[in-house]
């Protein structure tokens, strides 16, 4: 069976510090991978998606970047965090465009 892991679960970082959140999927190959952000009182916003190694697309301009160094690994990064980067970050995967999506347990990021 397939599982998705995200870490860390919670993170408190000062403004201006770097960020690295990791997501790994097990039990599948060549998944479509996604990073979403859920801000307090707001819906989920798609940040990045990837259909293959090294293939990253960004949905919205922002202070974040994403990378996919391996088939089942998706990393969300920032060089310098802003207060507005605080939120709940969720990684998701699916087989293809029309398939069921599965989410990780999320990372709560607080920028102070």
Quote the least distance from Cβ 49 to another protein, whole Å. 5
Q: Distance of alpha carbon 48 from its chain centroid, rounded?
A: 7
Omega cis (within 30) before 89: no
Between 15 and 99, CB nearer to another protein: 99
Cβ-contact 14, 110 below 8 angstroms: no
Nearer to another protein, 42 or 61 (CB): 42
Cβ-in-10-Å burial (0-12, 13-18, 19+) of 96 comes to exposed
Q: How far is the CB of 104 from another protein (least distance, A)?
A: 5
Nearer to another protein, 16 or 27 (CB): 27
- What does the block give as tokens for 83? 């207060």
Interface positions with another protein (CB under 8 A):
6, 32, 34, 36, 42-44, 46, 49, 51, 57, 59, 88, 90, 92, 94, 96-106, 108
């Amino acid at each position: 069976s397939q599982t998705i892991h995200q870490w860390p679960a919670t993170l408190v970082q000062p403004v201006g510090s770097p960020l690295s959140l990791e997501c790994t999927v097990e039990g599948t190959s060549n998944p479509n991978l996604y990073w979403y952000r859920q801000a307090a009182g707001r819906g989920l916003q798609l940040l990045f998606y990837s259909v293959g190694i090294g293939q990253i697309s960004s949905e919205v301009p922002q202070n974040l970047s994403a990378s996919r160094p391996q088939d089942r690994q998706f990393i969300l990064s920032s060089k310098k965090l802003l207060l507005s980067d605080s939120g709940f970050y969720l990684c998701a995967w699916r087989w293809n465009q029309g398939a069921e999506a599965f989410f990780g347990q999320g990372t709560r990021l607080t920028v102070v």
